[in-house]
Structure 1
């Protein structure tokens, strides 16, 4: 399952859910507030910019935002919101593609680093972020904490969300640190629409080592965009790394 096949025209068309889920106003406002604060008035680069969920409102704040994105259909969807002059985008892999110039902040949100399915790719992503940063610049990663404690012996799947018309199931390959998220959307009929996306999960300590290999160090880690304390029970984290001078 290639990422190019996952993020196709249909996925791009259905990706935005205005006012709900990751597009909930309170979540977006907190995300944009924190990123604008971390940017400190400098230029910003988003890895895997997608349809511009975060970049568009960030740019509307007056922040100079550039993106890197692998999927042409996702960029096409972004272009229905803003043009190239407002938010320029480089087509390419976030682990290797280069955007022009240097930045005060590079960010990677909503579990997207897990779309890189090999540890080496994730390490290259950290190094690519470091290449784009000004001295002392920051790299922000938002990632879920692996939910392995929910797996009883002999079971390799866990329901991560259940709501009217939707069921989300993750299947784990603990040997290779992989999971596949299965998204089942259904109505009153017998047929359901199924979407799948593969991921490589990583623990916070593993990301810290990737940062060290790229010449960065952990500056802060919180459970959410409002600065909640990260604990053993946190389901995700916002980690901020600073490029060492």
Structure 2
């Protein structure tokens, strides 16, 4: 996931190694591959929005999908292209609210709160409308978001630290603005080379808001899960996996 760039603040090249180390341990790759495979029925054309350095895009291409990896950060896309080798990956530097690709996609993925990087209702609708315009008939959009209740459970500013290696760690500070539905995450990386910081700002939508925004964009929610194991979404879920299709599409099994 690359996030800040979608609102005009791409990640600088100096933090690419830090970005990779922070997100390397996420356990969603197999889940994304499994859900995309279930929705498409086999190798397909996939658009990965907010691709960052290609953590998911490269994995999807590795199982046979033709992947277009979209991000606004040129340094991240350069790193992705270097890693891709002969894999079927095309990189696209563009704002996710306003992009054009010549051919439609069977599946479009937005992982790790990428959807929340659109900071207004208008921008979220622009994004969803653009995704709808790029869907193949029968195609699906997969949105992977944190349940906003998780942010609100501890709305006071709080900080925690995580190891990144034997000589490095990241200190993460979360600042929740409940009225604005805004989360600011400040990362401070400390290692032998010194201290580096970078922020991420996201504006969350509740599942109900997402459903309405989708309807305003010619999409509808056809499935919702509490995780990539297809578990039921409940009041205890920390993750919200939402599958969208064009409003006139046939509903997938839940």
Contact 1:105 1:137 in 2 (8 A): yes
TM-fit CA distance, 1:170: 1.3
1:128-165 deviations in Å (ceiling 9; x for gaps)? 110001222211101112211322xxx4x234x54343
Contact 1:13 1:77 in 2 (8 A): no
Cα distance in 1 for partners of 2:212, 2:173 equals 29
Tell me the equivalent position of 2:64: 62
* Alignment partner of 1:172 out of 176, 181, 185: 176
- State the TM-score, normalized to the length of structure 2: 0.83
After TM superposition, the structure 1 stretch with the greater mean CA deviation from structure 2, 197-206 or 29-38, is 29-38
1:211 alignment partner, SS class: helix
TM-fit CA distance, 1:111: 0.8
- State the TM-score, normalized to the length of structure 1: 0.86
Tell me the equivalent position of 1:38: 39
Tell me the equivalent position of 1:13: 17
Contact 1:72 1:91 in 2 (8 A): yes
* Alignment partner of 2:97 out of 95, 101, 113: 95
TM-fit CA distance, 1:234: 1.4
1:78-111 deviations in Å (ceiling 9; x for gaps)? 0121158721122111111111211111111111
Tell me the equivalent position of 2:166: none
Counterparts of 1:229-240 in structure 2 under 5 Å? 229-240=232-243
2:58 alignment partner, SS class: helix
Q: Report the number of matched residues.
A: 235
Give the gaps of 5 or more residues in structure 1.
none
Contact 2:128 2:214 in 1 (8 A): yes
Cα distance in 1 for partners of 2:30, 2:142 equals 16
1:8-35 deviations in Å (ceiling 9; x for gaps)? 102323322399422x4xx322221222
Cα distance in 2 for partners of 1:19, 1:210 equals 28
TM-fit CA distance, 1:112: 1.0
1:81 alignment partner, SS class: helix
1:141 alignment partner, SS class: strand
Tell me the equivalent position of 2:222: 219
2:139 alignment partner, SS class: strand
Tell me the equivalent position of 1:28: 29
Contact 1:106 1:140 in 2 (8 A): yes
Cα distance in 1 for partners of 2:121, 2:101 equals 23
Tell me the equivalent position of 1:158: 158
1:198 alignment partner, SS class: strand
Give the gaps of 5 or more residues in structure 2.
164-168, 249-254
Tell me the equivalent position of 1:113: 115
Instruction: Give the CA RMSD over aligned residues.
Output: 2.4
